[in-house]
Amino acid sequence: MPTAKGWSRQFDEPIPLPDGGELRTLLDAGRYVDKLPRSMHDREEWQTVMEVLLSAIEGREPESLLRIALSRWSCRKAKFDARLSSHEAPEWLLSRRT
């Protein structure tokens, strides 16, 4: 069972987010991942982030591995969001954006 200490563990350096925010602790990372649209929860990248997050909280994986997983995920999410807001995205898809 994860302890409060596990959730409060800090990253060596904050993880920057595409929106200008940053993640400083494992709890920040958990809240960030939880706020993602439910439609993304089935994606392999999201599942990987969750597995690594839980492993880091339990002390089985280093925070640096979570940093890599979160950085890759937020980069992919930013690219996806940019495509949705560009002229390349069909109108019906833009209207369904969450």
User: How far is the CA of 81 from the CAs of 12, 36, 75, 88, 92, in angstroms?
Assistant: 28, 12, 10, 12, 15
**From first to last of its 98 residues, what are the pLDDT tens digits of the chain?**
444 468 888 888 998 887 788 999 999 999 988 887 787 778 887 888 888 888 888 888 888 888 888 877 766 655 555 555 555 545 554 555 54
User: Max CA-CA distance within the chain?
Assistant: 47
DSSP notation for the chain: ---HHHHHPEEEEEEE-TTS-EEEEHHHHHHHHHHS-GGGTTSHHHHHHHHHHHHHHTTSS-HHHHHHHHHHHHHHHHHHHHHHHSTTS-HHHHHT--
Q: How many residues are recorded in the chain?
A: 98
- Where are the domains positioned within the chain? 24-95
